[in-house]
Amino acid sequence: MGQLPSTDCERMRGYVSASLDDELSEVERAMVEAHLVWCPTCQAFAADGVETARVLRETPAEELNFPIVLPGRRLAVARKLQVAAAAAAIALAVGVGASVRQAPGPNAGGAAFSTRAGSGWSTETELKMLHRASLRGRTTVHAHFAL
């Protein structure tokens, strides 16, 4: 009949692990025992598992000289909110940047403006365009954050 495919051996190894804690039904236990009769690889796995479980159960627990503190649920929620706020800020910056680049200049005849030196645009003109773009996007931004 030949050897079972590796997925069957993986399943049997899961059963072997569960058997170490007496978590198998009678049928599953019988399947494992039948498999171990002819599969030397799984026999070695089972022997290692039995030995490892024995060592772990016999080893005394160590006393720690420092406390282990796990983050509370509130901290995890706060971190998710921080990540969401950072993502929203990045999206807002990209959106404002895109709208500013697409804003037509007063002398551009509808073409997108350029901030390159020598383009004839003053800093004051660019600031006015930024202000207009921020006002134009303000209602959109608030709509995204509305509950």
**Is 78 or 49 the better-scoring residue by pLDDT?**
49
In whole angstroms, what is the distance from residue 89 CA to residue 86 CA? Answer: 5
Using one digit for the tens of pLDDT, what is the confidence trace for 57-101?
Answer: 999 988 888 888 776 666 677 778 888 888 888 888 887 877 766
Nearest of 137, 143, 140, 142 to residue 97 by alpha carbon: 137
pTM of the model: 0.41
- What per-residue confidence (pLDDT) applies to 143? 45
Give the residue-averaged pLDDT of 36-47: 93
**Taking the CA of residue 24 as centre, how many other CA atoms within 13 Å lie in the half-sphere pointing to its CB?**
19
Longest CA pairwise span in the chain (Å): 88
pLDDT at 36 over 80: yes
- What per-residue confidence (pLDDT) applies to 62? 86
Nearest of 108, 95, 107 to residue 136 by alpha carbon: 95
Using one digit for the tens of pLDDT, what is the confidence trace for 108-146?
Answer: 444 444 444 455 667 777 777 777 777 765 544 444 444
- What per-residue confidence (pLDDT) applies to 137? 53
- What per-residue confidence (pLDDT) applies to 95? 79
